[in-house]
Amino acid sequence: MESPASLLLKCHMDLVPLTQRVESAKAREKELEEELGEMNLRIKVKEEELVETEEIQIEQKEKCESLQESCEEKPELRVLQHWASSEKREEHPLFPPSLSFPPLRIITSLTPPSLPPFLPPLLPPPLLRSLPFFPSTQD
C-alpha cells in the first residue's frame, strides 16, 4: 500500500498537466474571442460599404432612367420641330411650292443633341434650277 504522501504527490503530478491544459485552453479561448471581434468589425465595415455601394447603384439607376426618359422624348420633339420647320419652309420665298423634301427619318438611336437635322442648302432659285437634280419648272 502506498503512503498518503506518495498518493498526494502522484495526484499533484497528474494535476500539473491538466492545469497547464486548462491555462492553454483559456489563452486559446481569449485569442479566438479577439479574432472573432476583429472578424465582426470587418463584417460591419463590409456591410457599411455594401450599403454605400447599393445607394450609389440606386442613384446611378435613377440617373439612367431619367436619361432614358429624356431620350424617349427627343424623337417626339424632333417630329414636332420638323413639322414646324416644314411649315416655315412652305412660307419661305426662296423655296418654290413645287420643291419637296424627302420625309425626315426619325433616328431612335442615341445621337448627340448638338447634331442638327439635315437641311438643304439655302441657294437662290436660279442657282437651284441650274443644278442637275433640281426639277425644271419650264417643262
Q: Would residue 53 count as lying in a domain?
A: yes
The answer to whether residue 99 is domain-embedded is no
Task: Answer whether residue 65 is part of any domain.
Answer: yes
What residue numbers bound the domain in which 72 lies?
Answer: 19-92
The total of structural domains in the chain comes to 1
pLDDT of 106-126, one tens digit each? 555 555 555 455 555 555 555
Residues shown for the chain: 139
Tell whether 7 is covered by a domain. no
Residue 82's pLDDT band, with cuts at 50, 70 and 90, is: confident
The answer as to whether 14 is a domain residue is no
Asked if the structure places residue 48 within a domain, the reply is: yes
For the stretch 116-133, what's the b/e string if a residue is b when 16 or more beta carbons lie within 10 angstroms of its beta carbon?
Answer: eeeeeeeeeeeebeeeee
User: In whole angstroms, what is the distance from residue 78 CA to residue 74 CA?
Assistant: 6
The answer as to whether 122 is a domain residue is no
Q: Could you tell me the pTM of the whole model? A: 0.37
* Residue 139: predicted pLDDT: 46
As given in the structure block, the three cell numbers for residue 75 are 424623337
Is residue 117 one of the residues assigned to a domain?
no
